[in-house]
Amino acid sequence: MFPLTQRTVPLYQKEGQLCRHTSQITSIHPLSCLPEDARALFKPPPDSTSYVLTTPSTIFHAQGGGQPSDTGIIKSKDATFHVHQVRKNEPALLHMGVFDGGNARFQDGEEVEQSINVEKRRLHSRIHTAGHVIGLAINVLVREARLPSNIVDGKASHYPGSAFVEFLGLIPGTAKADIQAKVDELVSQDLDVKIHFWTEAKARTDCTGVLESFKSDEDGVRVVEIGDVGSYPCGGTHVLNLSECGKVVVRGVKRQKGVSKVSYEVQDT
């Protein structure tokens, strides 16, 4: 009934700096009319007039991989739609939001212009990239035998105000200063942040941290590589150079049930 199974091309995966993009409306429905499983993807919407729309391609980052979704605007000549949440309903990406007052709406097939909230995207990209820097710093300290050899990258969350990276294995709280110093060293090198598409075999062999859950599609595995220090399979958005992160501050190191959690934030310099 609902064309929510048509693939949306996630343009941010290959053109991460794109802030505006013209596309057509593939489908648009009131959120309340969606099947229960699709409706459940969204947090309680701001009001009952929320709509969900799809386009063949999008620059809006969908929530996932520990990174929040983009927000922004989708505009036709007659109507303006404010995108509040973007969710994956594989292979489609769903944009949920509300129209500006009045009765203006989009029609199926209508041409619209997408524009993301650039400030928010930039902050998300800085925090996300900083999470990789924390991971690499800890991997370097392991290689230098300054941290236990059994430490392995775990899950991460890059939300403003509550960002953290987890590791299997115990990182002592006393290592915080060493981690901060290594992070500062990496950031001060102004390393480039590059995106590659590797075969699954290469990603498994060459990436610094490989989670079991990583995904491969027809392009291969999307990998982010920082200088020549290391790389991670990743679907998120990043800055182009570590100098854009600002100051990356290690907030704390906590251990629970064999997992170490390193919390951090980025600060303007």
Asked if 224 touches Zn ion (CB under 5 A), the answer is yes
Q: Which stretch binds Zn ion (CB under 5 A): 80-88, 135-143, 177-185, 231-239?
A: 231-239
Class of residue 70 by CB neighbours under 10 A (exposed 0-12, middle 13-18, buried 19+)? buried
Decide if 2 contacts 28 (C-beta within 8 A). no
SS3 state at 118: helix
The minimum distance between CB 66 and Zn ion, in angstroms, equals 8
Give the shortest CB-155-to-Zn ion separation in angstroms: 12
Two tokens at 114?
């997408």
Structure tokens that stand for 57 in this block: 């391609």
Least Cα distance to 159 among 265, 84, 73 occurs for 265
User: Which of 136, 236, 250, 266 contacts Zn ion by CB under 5 A?
Assistant: 236
Stretch that binds Zn ion, among 18-26, 87-95, 159-167, 219-227 (CB under 5 A): 219-227
Q: Which of 185, 209, 184, 169 is nearest to 65 (CA)?
A: 209
* Residue 234 in contact with Zn ion, rule: CB under 5 A: yes
Q: Minimum distance between the CB of residue 99 and Zn ion, rounded to whole angstroms? A: 33
Using CB under 5 A, count the residues that bind Zn ion.
Answer: 3
> By C-beta, is 43 or 194 nearer to Zn ion?
194
* For Zn ion, the closer CB: 38 or 224: 224
Assess 127 for contact with Zn ion (CB under 5 A): no
Of the candidates 262, 242, 232, the one whose C-alpha atom is nearest the C-alpha of residue 250 is 262
The site for Zn ion (CB under 5 A) is made up of 224, 234, 236
